[in-house]
Amino acid sequence: MPEALLDVAGLRVRFGRDVEAVRGVSLAVERGQTHCVVGESGCGKSVSALAVMGLLARGATRTATHMRFDGQDITDLSERALQALRGDRMAMIFQEPMTSLNPAYTVGSQMAEVLSRHRGTPKRLGLERAAELLAKVGITAPGLRLGQYPHQLSGGLRQRVMIAMALMCDPELLIADEPTTALDVTVQAQILRLLQGLQRELGLAILLITHDLGVVARIAHKVSVMYAGEVLESASAADLFASPRHPYTQGLLACVPVPGRIRRGDPLGSIPGTVPRIAPGFTGCGFRDRCAFARPDCAGAIAQRDDGLGHRHLCQLAA
Amino acid sequence: MRIGVRRLAQYLGFVIVAGLAVVAIIAPWITPHDPFLQNLDARMIPPSFMEGGVPQHFLGTDQIGRDYFSRLIYGARISMLIGVLVVICSGLIGTTLGVIGGFFGGRVDAVVMFIITCRLSIPFILVALTVVSFVGSSLSVVVMTLGLLLWERFAVVARTTTMQVRTLDYIAAAWAAGCSRTHILLREVLPNILHHLIVVATLEMALAILLEAALSFLGLGVPPPLPSWGLMIAEAKDYMFFSPWVIMVPGLALFVLVLGINLLGDGLRDRLGAARDA
Amino acid sequence: MLKFLARRAVLAVLVMLTVLTISFALTRLSGDVAVSMAGPQATQQDIATIRKNYGLDRPLIVQFGDWVGGVATGNLGRSYLYHAPVAELIRARLPITLTLGLTGLAIALLVAIPLGILAAMHEGAWLDRAIMMVAVVGQAMPSFWLGLVLVIWLGVKLQLLPISGVDTWDGYVLPGVVLAFSAIPALMRLTRGGMVDALASDYVRTARAKGLTRVSVVLKHALRNAAMPVVAVAAVQLGFMLGGSVVIESVFALNGVGYLAWESIAKNDFPVVQAVVLFLATIYVALTLLADMLNAVLDPRLRVS
């Protein structure tokens, strides 16, 4: 089996002394495939993405059993080496397109600087490539846009610019942190379609962070469900929706009202309680306080269950 | 051992200001000599811990034989008095202007902004010097001049914070409950911008003290024989090459007082959560 | 953009008119102007002459009209002490004050901006605290006292720099440093604050995600955005330095506009006082206008037409 493009095992991120945001996350993103990480706010999914890119704030410590990008270990890579990778072979886009672009520079110059940084390309050629990519992401009049400032573009346009900018150096992996959350519903659909199209055309691997199961259903090949800093279940998208094994995943799916299946008067599903903040030294399952099936042994070491076909979940219950 | 340098600094500021305030208040009881008493036989005596000093004049004497230490202590009175009075005066003017402009907006605000801009455009020190020169120099003139000129920061901060507060829900609730405008201004707006203004007050107090010292140094501030620290520095200027301590001491006193006030102000800003860019 | 500037220009004119009035009224504060000008030793004859020569016997409105009219044609009045047109006096001394102000500002910026950036980059660490302590200490220092202390130590005891006059270029160093001292704390805090915000912003995160070097992120992306309020305040500080140079110029015996103003105030030379106040206010208004324009250049969002 070919090696995954991004292979993360046992990622842990701690902020200061009191908060353990990520507690042993493992995931793999295959070339040309989309892996979605889904979970509630505060589960550590964005932090995991930032940790992979090495973009955590000062004061955060990250460790991992291993983190490999295209076979190369990136866990202990120097900042300089990471800088060379970022924007070149791994790119990232973020949730807030309105504030993610520098207001003082034109769109074109911000895009061209990626090429000049990584390839030494002169600005004129960089701008040509930028115009090409703007067209590819579906922006009309790309030449005009190059000279415009971010505040002159709408949110949807800015997100497209972010995507185009991320593609400047032909990256192999695109990490997208909730790219559609801040956008209108119709624009969301367009952006997702765009990402799928780019994946097909360029063989782009995508690690997509989201809290929206609808996005997952639409675009994911593989899914990891995160909760309180851990991956509770991971499987192919089809498997996950067809037969969720972890009580949390089952609860999440039950929360989604399906037209046709839900009837007027039926209560909407919900999972009582809120996501806990985990301090270092916490043991056992993070979900046990909200789980309908919790048992005393949920406070101890939890079994990692694997069906051998790529469907894993972290639970004392078999299935 | 993480006491925190920041906390330490705040407490230091408080101690300095409180200490000097106490000194200023009980000055008549703790000064060893009368600060105005001249003694031409005992001129320019160095401090008691330096060569040539005498024990009864702890910090020596100035050029007409007055005890330096006593003058220093009385100088604290003048600085603190001026600081407090000026801040009250300029605070009242600036806050009124700022709140009116911020609350009523529109044309009223345009007028207030215009007034503030005009005030900012005037070369402040020159105007202060001119006024004191023409009207005559005395403590009250200095206080009035500084008080009538130093209000712009109060006005700006009061205006900005009032504008922010004006849109908040509890103001709307007060309107809906039928409260009069005056009531809203005095009982709803003012208490909620007060903490920002207190921080400005400390900064302005420090500024007023420094400015009075500068004016007195130039001869157009507090008149002699009052022992303003700025005046003491000016008087000592002619002798500074021979006896540098004469200018070091009042300058250090000024520095310590202003430093204390600034530290206190910073501490208040942190504690009260006031705006950081005032 | 043009409309914005036009509006600011109109405002500037209105402010100037107000300042004209204030500068005029200022000198009329002490009652009989002619008496004050003539000084304590004057005879009735002197006073009468002055009154006539300076038109002080006419109604105030007429005097004011004369003043405004004169200003419009560049005639700033005539000094009683020097028997020369005030405009001439100012022009002769302006280079010194300007050089001093610009030197002070240059030193202030050269110190404040790098330190502010450094403090922001190490926010919360001991370097940040140490730098901020410098700002706090600097703000508390009375500038004239600092000037005297430096004169004693660097000028006399160590004989490193000249202590008065500006015959050589290094005569500007000490006074420039003292002037800078008063501006550095504010500029440093502002730079630090702006940089802290910029470094925590989303667009800086994007810049890092693009793999840009630290230098590029801090200087090209963050600083550009943090610079805007600093520019505005720097222009204002220059205005203060020019207006507040009175004290420094007297400590270092520099023959600039500030010193001229002080002399004139002390000796009741009204025409000069009136004109200098107006002159400095004009410079200040011009500087703030300049600052606004610079802001528009730096921040594309302000260029909305």
> Which two tokens mark A95?
């949730």
| C 242-261 residues inside an 8 A Cβ radius of B | 242-244, 246-247, 250, 261
> Which two tokens mark C304?
């909305």
> Which two tokens mark C129?
């605290």
- Distance, CA of B203 to CA of B275 (rounded, Å): 13
Residues of C in contact with B206 (CB under 8 A): 139-140
Average pLDDT taken over every residue of chain A:
88
CA distance B178 to chain C (A): 38
* Model pLDDT, residue B83: 92
CB C203 within 8 A of CB A100: yes
Dmax (CA) for chain B in angstroms is 76
Higher pLDDT, A52 or B36: A52
* Model pLDDT, residue A204: 92
CB B261 within 8 A of CB B209: yes
- Distance, CA of C194 to CA of C215 (rounded, Å): 17
Q: Measured between alpha carbons, how far is residue B137 from residues A205, C22, C26 in Å?
A: 80, 21, 16
How, if at all, do strands A230-236 and A60-63 pair? unpaired
Residues of B in contact with C242 (CB under 8 A): 123
- Distance, CA of A46 to CA of B178 (rounded, Å): 48
> Which two tokens mark C78?
């005539």
* Model pLDDT, residue B1: 43
Residues of C in contact with B277 (CB under 8 A): 190, 193
At residue A69, what are phi and psi to the nearest 5 degrees? -115, 115
- Do the chains contact at C265 and B220, CB–CB below 8 Å? yes
Residues of C in contact with B244 (CB under 8 A): 152
pLDDT, tens only, A195-251:
999 999 999 999 999 988 889 998 999 999 999 889 999 999 998 988 888 888 888
* Model pLDDT, residue B127: 85
* Model pLDDT, residue B273: 66
* Model pLDDT, residue C165: 65
CB A100 within 8 A of CB A91: no
- Distance, CA of B19 to CA of B15 (rounded, Å): 6
pLDDT, tens only, B14-34:
888 888 888 888 877 777 777
pLDDT category of residue C171 using cuts at 50, 70 and 90: confident
HEC string for chain A: CCCCCEEEEEEEEEECCCEEEEEEEEEEECCCCEEEEECCCCCCHHHHHHHHHCCCCCCEEEECCEEEECCEECCCCCHHHHHHHECCCEEEECCCCCCCCCCCCCHHHHHHHHHHHHHCCCHHHHHHHHHHHHHHCCCCCHHHHHCCCHHHCCHHHHHHHHHHHHCCCCCCEEEEECCCCCCCHHHHHHHHHHHHHHHHHHCCEEEEEECCHHHHHHHCCEEEEEECCEEEEEEEHHHHHHCCCCHHHHHHHHHCCCECCECCCCCCCCCCCCCCCCCCCCCCCCCHHHCCCCCHHHHCCCCEEECCCCCEEECCCCC
C24 contact B CB<8A: no
Angle at A308 between CA A306 and CA A309, to 5 degrees: 110
Angle between helices C173-199 and C223-243 (to 10 degrees): 150
Q: Is residue C163's pLDDT more than 70?
A: no
* Model pLDDT, residue B265: 85
Lowest mean pLDDT of A58-72, A301-315, C46-60, name the range: C46-60
Lowest mean pLDDT of A95-104, B179-188, C206-215, C248-257, name the range: B179-188
Q: Is residue C54's pLDDT more than 80?
A: no
- Do the chains contact at C299 and A103, CB–CB below 8 Å? yes
* A124 burial level (CB within 10 Å; 0-12, 13-18, 19+): exposed
* Model pLDDT, residue C183: 87
Q: Measured between alpha carbons, how far is residue B232 from residues B75, C171, C234 in Å?
A: 9, 26, 33
Query: Which residues of C make CB contacts under 8 Å with A?
Result: 201-203, 205-214, 216, 221, 224-225, 298-301
For chain C, give the percent of residues with pLDDT over 90. 15
Q: Is residue B224's pLDDT more than 50?
A: yes
* Model pLDDT, residue A319: 59
Total beta-carbon pairs less than 8 A apart between chain B and chain C: 137
Average pLDDT taken over every residue of chain C:
83
C72 contact B CB<8A: no
Q: Once rounded to an integer, what is the mean pLDDT over residues C42-56?
A: 76
Q: Bridge partners of A8? A: A27, A67
Sign of CA dihedral B198, B204, B206, B209: negative
- Do the chains contact at C299 and A86, CB–CB below 8 Å? no
pLDDT, tens only, B107-161:
898 899 888 888 888 888 888 888 888 888 888 888 998 999 899 889 988 888 8
CA distance B106 to chain C (A): 16
For chain A, give the percent of residues with pLDDT over 70. 98
pLDDT, tens only, C222-266:
998 888 888 878 888 888 888 778 888 888 888 888 888 888 888
| C 134-153 residues inside an 8 A Cβ radius of B | 136-137, 139-146, 148-149, 152
- Distance, CA of A96 to CA of B84 (rounded, Å): 48
HEC string for chain B: CCCCHHHHHHHHHHHHHHHHHHHHHCHHHHCCCCCCCCCHHHCCCCCCCCCCCCCCCCCCECCCCCEHHHHHHHHHHHHHHHHHHHHHHHHHHHHHHHHHHHHHCHHHHHHHHHHHHHHHHCCHHHHHHHHHHHHCCCHHHHHHHHHHHCCHHHHHHHHHHHHHHHCCHHHHHHHHCCCCHHHHHHHHHHHHHHHHHHHHHHHHHHHHHHHHHHHHHCCCCCCCCCCCHHHHHHHHHCCCCCCCHHHHHHHHHHHHHHHHHHHHHHHHHHHHCCCCCC
At residue B167, what are phi and psi to the nearest 5 degrees? -85, 0
Buried b (16+ CB within 10 A) or exposed e, B129-155: bbbbbbeebebebbbbbbbbbbbbbbb
* Model pLDDT, residue C230: 86
The set of residues, in sequence order, having a beta carbon less than 8 Å from that of A84 and lying 6+ positions away, is: A118, C211
CB C165 within 8 A of CB C231: no
CB A85 within 8 A of CB A69: yes
Contacts 24+ apart (CB under 8 A), B18-21: B20/B76, B20/B80, B20/B256, B20/B257, B20/B260, B21/B80
Angle between helices B229-237 and B68-104 (to 10 degrees): 130
- Do the chains contact at C149 and B247, CB–CB below 8 Å? yes
* Model pLDDT, residue C154: 77
- Distance, CA of A195 to CA of A204 (rounded, Å): 9
Task: Determine the distance from the C-alpha atom of residue C89 to the mean position of all C-alpha atoms in its chain, rounded to a whole number.
Answer: 19
- Distance, CA of A316 to CA of A230 (rounded, Å): 15
The most confident of the ranges A59-68, B137-146, C109-118 is C109-118
Lowest mean pLDDT of B28-37, B64-73, B251-260, name the range: B28-37
The most confident of the ranges B237-251, B257-271, C208-222 is C208-222
C36 contact B CB<8A: yes
Q: Once rounded to an integer, what is the mean pLDDT over residues A284-296?
A: 81
pLDDT category of residue B2 using cuts at 50, 70 and 90: low
C164 contact B CB<8A: no
- Distance, CA of B187 to CA of B191 (rounded, Å): 6
- Do the chains contact at C139 and B258, CB–CB below 8 Å? yes
pLDDT category of residue B266 using cuts at 50, 70 and 90: confident
Lowest mean pLDDT of B253-267, C101-115, C265-279, name the range: C265-279
* Model pLDDT, residue B255: 92
pTM, 2 dp: 0.83
> Which two tokens mark A96?
């807030």
Higher pLDDT, C34 or A242: A242
* Model pLDDT, residue A1: 53
- Distance, CA of A304 to CA of C42 (rounded, Å): 105
- Residue count of chain C, please give it: 305
- Distance, CA of B255 to CA of B210 (rounded, Å): 9
Q: Is the peptide bond before B225 cis (omega within 30 degrees of 0)?
A: yes
A201: number of Cβ within 10 Å: 9
- Do the chains contact at B258 and C142, CB–CB below 8 Å? yes
pLDDT, tens only, C9-24:
888 888 888 888 888 8
Q: Is residue B278's pLDDT more than 50?
A: no
- Distance, CA of C146 to CA of C141 (rounded, Å): 7
Q: Measured between alpha carbons, how far is residue A5 from residues A45, A76, A118, A209, A226 in Å?
A: 19, 18, 21, 17, 21
pLDDT category of residue B277 using cuts at 50, 70 and 90: very low
Measure CB to CB from residue C26 to each of B6, B127, B256 and give the nearest one: B127
- Distance, CA of C303 to CA of C297 (rounded, Å): 8
Q: Once rounded to an integer, what is the mean pLDDT over residues B237-251?
A: 79
pLDDT, tens only, A70-89:
988 898 888 899 999 999 99
